[in-house]
Structure 1
Amino acid sequence: MNIFDIIGPVMVGPSSSHTAGAVKIGYVARKLLGEPVKKAQILLYGSFLATGKGHGTHKAILAGLLGMKPDNPEIPRSFEIAEKNGLEFSFGEAKLKDVHPNSVQLILSGINRRHLEVVGESLGGSLINIAAIDGLSANFSGEYPTLIVHNLDQPGHIAEVTSMLSHKSVNIAEMQLYRSNRGGNAVMIIECDQEIPEESIKWVSHLEGIEKVTYYSLEG
């Protein structure tokens, strides 16, 4: 047990799961998009849908999409700030299966026309899990620099990516692999102990059979 387990996160309340966790999901999603959000469809599920308004969940998710962290005092003003920044947003109900009761589906468009769909789960104590990216399974916390590689299920991709990380002295903390079917769409999620150089991420994106590369950095 550490001090975080005893006193909880530094945050703007009222709830570590419905407020702080919600902010963090929005924040991680914005970082994954890689550019400011222009349009956001925010679809709530379970307890987020049932009690979210009372806990400030709507404002919290939007605050995260604006780049705020859970301790930002401007979180209650996120609607106003979003409108001033030209961020279009709407709320609705998510049709999800096999997810945590505190979940949200985010369908995002960026100012440079990048698109991203994320399913995030708030686990309590401001801890979160990113459960899906662009319709494919995922499972990472946002606590580490994370490389997400969408690729065709072909031999050699895992070796190429892990060899690159070794060459750059980047240690893998955890790695997860998913695929839709043999030879179909696949994704590798690699949480690292160090940041990955930008040129290395670009190198991966140009490999044959790589469809999309998304990087979540703790910097900036």
Structure 2
Amino acid sequence: MKYRSVFDIIGPVMIGPSSSHTAGAARIGLVARQLFQKAPTWVSFHLYGSFAKTYRGHGTDVALVGGILGFDTFDNRITESIEIAKNSGLTVSFHEEEAHMDHPNTVKIHLGDDSHEMELVGISIGGGKVEIKELNGFELRLSGNHPAILVVHDDRFGAIASVSTILAKNEINIGHMEVSRKEVGKEALMVIEIDQNIGGNIMKQVEALDHVTKVTKIHE
């Protein structure tokens, strides 16, 4: 296995006892917050495997809530995140699930407000690294460790090429890309991990494409 830096070996700068159960959980929560694009008013965490068995003792609960509040893995406020959430009006619930999942450190996050909801499934794979496996029913593989854009679009000829062309014209290099769809010819989701964060101008160019319905970005 190749590592990009020493931090891939020793783990991230973090608050808490475990890179998998604390830092990874915080990062999953933070990706969920970035994808939701604003502060939710309620969130429910459905915990599977070892997450369900040890989430209180390993700080997974405060880490997940901290991520939803927008706190990074090293933010000292994570330890008080549940109290901060309560004071801010965010309703939080935890659910220990018995279903068997492919990975032991799995969480399903369901969050929302009065206008819309979002559901995300993430796993913590060790060393603070995570993968987002599902978003609103779309299967995907998103690391959360690199800048990325998620494009909801019509499943039709030329959709992928048009987005790729905009990124190429703006000298944005694609590190990983995949497309998921629920049904042929209906709604699809394009997930593109890139080498650097992109500005609002490029986002607007992608949003202006007639087959695109929504563009969201996440960043390291």
Query: Structure 2 counterpart of 1:32, which letter?
Result: L
| Cα distance in 2 for residues equivalent to 1:154 and 1:96 | 36
1:102 — aligned with what? 105
Contact 1:94 1:104 in 2 (8 A): no
Q: Deviations over 1:26-64 (max 9, x none)?
A: 011111111122211111111111121111111110011
Bigger shift: residues 42-51 or 97-106: 97-106
Cα distance change on mapping 1:32 and 1:71 into 2, 3 Å: same
Give the aligned length. Answer: 217
Q: Could you list the runs of 4 or more consecutive aligned residues of structure 1 that deviate by over 6 angstroms after TM superposition?
A: none
| Cα distance in 2 for residues equivalent to 1:55 and 1:98 | 20
| Structure 1 residue 63 corresponds to structure 2 residue 72 | no
From 138, 141, 144, give the equivalent of 1:142: 144
1:129 — aligned with what? 131
Q: Deviations over 1:105-149 (max 9, x none)?
A: 111115x83432111110011110011111101111112211111
Cα distance change on mapping 1:45 and 1:98 into 2, 3 Å: closer
2:171 — aligned with what? 169
Query: Structure 1 counterpart of 2:129, which letter?
Result: L
From 92, 95, 119, give the equivalent of 2:95: 92
Identical-residue share of aligned pairs (%):
41
SS of residue paired to 1:113: coil
| Cα distance in 2 for residues equivalent to 1:136 and 1:178 | 6
| Cα distance in 1 for residues equivalent to 2:56 and 2:105 | 13
Normalising by structure 2, report the TM-score.
0.90
Contact 2:130 2:145 in 1 (8 A): no
State the Cα distance separating 1:158 from its structure 2 match.
Answer: 0.5
Contact 1:48 1:103 in 2 (8 A): yes
Q: Deviations over 1:175-201 (max 9, x none)?
A: 112222432332211011122221332
State the Cα distance separating 1:5 from its structure 2 match.
Answer: 4.3
Q: Deviations over 1:65-106 (max 9, x none)?
A: 111111122212111110111111111145867542101111
| Structure 1 residue 30 corresponds to structure 2 residue 33 | yes
Query: Structure 2 counterpart of 1:92, which letter?
Result: H
Bigger shift: residues 58-67 or 1-10: 1-10
The runs of 5 or more residues in structure 1 that have no matched partner are none
1:196 — aligned with what? 198
Normalising by structure 1, report the TM-score.
0.90
Cα distance change on mapping 1:146 and 1:56 into 2, 3 Å: same
Contact 1:43 1:105 in 2 (8 A): yes
